[in-house]
Structure 1
Amino acid sequence: MLDLTQLRSFVVVEQMGSFTLAAERLGLGQSTVSQHIQRLESAVGRRLLARDTHKVLLTTDGEALLSHARAMLAIEAQVQSQFRGQKLRGNLRLGVSEDFVTSQLPAVLEDFVRSHPSVDLELTVALSGTLYEMQDNGEIDLVLAKRRLGDARGRLVYREPLVWLARDPEQVLSGGPLSLIAFPPPSVTRSIALEALGRSQVAWRIVCTCGSLSGLTAAARAGMGVLVQPRSMAPSGLKEIGKGQLPVLEDVEFVLVPRKGADQALVSALSDDILGKVRSLRANA
């Protein structure tokens, strides 16, 4: 019989990529978490985790166990929810900006879904400007999106620089108007990029517009032009264009914006989980 406490430590170590960060998240000592992993490895008779110079990684056997561990912990949460009358229940409409979804959303939501199995999430993925418009119309309860510097709305999650990206920087900068790959309006990154180019009097033309980051990434990887993204969300296969070659872009801030009148218990619970998880991920990056 596998021990749920040991499985929980195993899952959190995998999430955080670090025994130290996992111990902090669990409220345990690092030695205790290490003991949990050692006992779990003894119970299954396999090595589950391996360390490299930067973080803790799953072995092949660890990867095989992970989905089962998550399922067992999810069942435990469901049982506890059924027999505890004070668990959160209801529906929460969450809006998340397009670029955040592909990079960090799965890790952000995993703990919340397991801790609050009676909460139904209705997820909307769109551009930040679109999400704010939908929230103003009463269609979204909580928005996780970008804002420009100086915008006071929402609760700050973190601030990050925007960067210019291309498959082959030398080729896209070789002459003529700068070829841009961009989200359609209302896009925060698009507005910042065009304003920076305008201030520096750099000629440009938009060669590809798409509301999906996967579509923009495909165009950039095909060598069509330059893409602007937060640095930590830069897609693989693209290179950051060096300083001095294009205008400096202002930073963006990722924020949580609740809707007035939304269920405050649900909004607060998810907001706290998002803040804790994102900041842990960034500390471990």
Structure 2
Amino acid sequence: MSAPLDIDQLHTFLAIVDTGSFTKAADRVFKTQSAVSMQMRRLEERIGKQLFAKDGRGNRLTTEGEKLLNYARRIIRLNNEAIAAFDDNRLEGTLRIGTPDDYADRYMPEIIGRFAKTHPNVELYIVCENSSSLAERMAKGELDIALVTHNPRARMSDVVRTEPLCWVASANHPLREDAPVPLAVGRRDCLWRQLACSALDADGREYQVLFTSWSSTVVAAAVLAGMAVSVLPESALRPGMKVLTSADGFPPLPPVQIGLMKRPGLSPSLMNAITDHIAACLDNISPAVVPDDLDAEPKGIGRTPKVRAGQMATSW
């Protein structure tokens, strides 16, 4: 029977990946650099593959190291969940989370589901508003953390995910090529709207904003009805949508980033617990795939779990 992987070695492996060096990882896991190097040699011996390769003065993951990375995160996450399930000193209290509704649709089910399993005594209070309003609430101390569209010109946040921004239209309703592009977007201070309009302006493409809303449901409805074109992150694509590219006459868009805002003074235990879940869940989410069969469930979009963490209040 094969020997199991060592949890401590996997912790050190992830510390090296997250910090970018053996030296910084040694400080994080409270070991000497030689001990860290020894752990990685033993892990490579256990795997039977080289995990790191020299890259100048630093180290980079090999192909086999990249392969192990996803398994290591899942193993550590499951290990932490198992320990928390039998912890008599569980976290308690209320955690106030803010997120735009499009992020709530896509990311929150897995985040909430995992957090509820490991911290059932924590009440989650969820506020769904646009990123600008959430930043204002954070400044007033009305929220503990907020997932927002990262926009360093408007607010400070820690980037936790980067992905492509896509032009989308209805897969069942062709666009008129002789008319200005009909847009369904957020309000004027919406970063995605600004990126879309700037790209069309630079390309000399005429457009007209027909629908303005902070609600992703309203924007998606206008797109799916064939009434407008919009822009969405890759993971937010829905069945019935078609991605428009340069072949359709649409200019490329820059990638978008999701940021995490944190309230100073929040309990470190609560902060670390939720941010660890957010980082792990966002890292584990694959891009949404829009199937040809509109009745099929899109791959990469998880089913909504049942929430058991106290009462969850939602504010729209």
- Into which bin does the TM-score normalised by the smaller protein fall? 0.5 to 0.7
> Quick one: distance in 2 between partners of 1:124 and 1:99?
12
- Alignment partner of 1:249 is 2:249: no
**Contact 1:88 / 1:116 at 8 angstroms: preserved in 2?**
yes
Partner-residue secondary structure (3-state), 2:177: coil
Instruction: Please name the residue that 1:26 is paired with.
Output: 75
Residue identity in the other structure for 2:254 = E
Q: Map 1:74-153; keep pairs closer than 5 Å.
A: 77=85, 80=86, 84=88, 86-148=89-151, 153=156
Alpha-carbon shift at residue 275 of structure 1 (Å) = 0.5
**Contact 2:245 / 2:252 at 8 angstroms: preserved in 1?**
no
Q: Which runs of 5+ in 2 are unaligned?
A: 1-68, 288-298, 301-316
**Contact 2:96 / 2:125 at 8 angstroms: preserved in 1?**
yes
> Quick one: distance in 2 between partners of 1:197 and 1:222?
22
Q: Which runs of 5+ in 1 are unaligned?
A: 1-19, 30-72
Deviations 1:109-138 (A, max 9, x none): 111111111211110112222211221222
Instruction: Please name the residue that 1:35 is paired with.
Output: none
Q: Given the alignment, which residue of 264, 270, 280 partners 1:266?
A: 270
Alpha-carbon shift at residue 104 of structure 1 (Å) = 2.3
Residue identity in the other structure for 1:25 = R
Alpha-carbon shift at residue 27 of structure 1 (Å) = 4.5
Aligned-residue identity in percent: 27
Instruction: Report the count of equivalent residues.
Output: 217
TM-score (norm 2): 0.61
Deviations 1:42-72 (A, max 9, x none): xxxxxxxxxxxxxxxxxxxxxxxxxxxxxxx
- The 4+ residue runs of structure 1 with deviation greater than 6 A are 149-152
> Quick one: distance in 2 between partners of 1:100 and 1:157?
13
Deviations 1:69-114 (A, max 9, x none): xxxx99x94xx46xx2x32111111011221111221112111111
Greater Cα offset, 234-243 or 198-207:
198-207
> Quick one: distance in 2 between partners of 1:248 and 1:24?
33
Tell me: CA distance 1:240–1:28, structure 2 relative to 1, closer, same or farther (3 Å): closer
Q: Given the alignment, which residue of 220, 228, 231 partners 1:228?
A: 231
How big is the alpha-carbon RMSD for the aligned residues of Structure 1 and Structure 2?
3.0
Q: Given the alignment, which residue of 278, 281, 289 partners 1:277?
A: 281
> Quick one: distance in 2 between partners of 1:22 and 1:275?
15
Instruction: Please name the residue that 2:221 is paired with.
Output: 218
